[in-house]
Structure 1
């Protein structure tokens, strides 16, 4: 299954938001709670918040950051 190219920016934002939320919530939860008992539940809660914030942020900022990079490097 392939998606139409018009959906590429949305897919990029979704995947960036999920991957960054996944990694950042893991690291920050490990630093704050430790890798002991309760880590999994705390991490999943942090990941839910990270995804809820990260995906819309990535969708909104990615086009603007791309345009800024184009202006700074052209």
Structure 2
């Protein structure tokens, strides 16, 4: 089973949590809040049996963090 990828990336003046159609994109003013929400969504997906991976991008769009949540 492939993991759902939750990307936390800059979006204009805010930060976007995007999961390529798995959940509706979410926009936050703070990168920390966006990242926290991405991890919360990943934990929820894992508890429901779906593997998830959070990928955090910096303002230069480089991946600076990655966490995998295996399914329960």
Q: Bin the TM-score by the shorter chain.
A: 0.3 to 0.5
| Structure label with greater radius of gyration | 1
TM-score using structure 2 length: 0.37
TM-score using structure 1 length: 0.36
Structure having the larger proportion of residues in strand: 2
Structure having the larger proportion of residues in helix: 1
Quick one: higher RCO (CA 8 Å, sep 6+), 1 or 2? 1
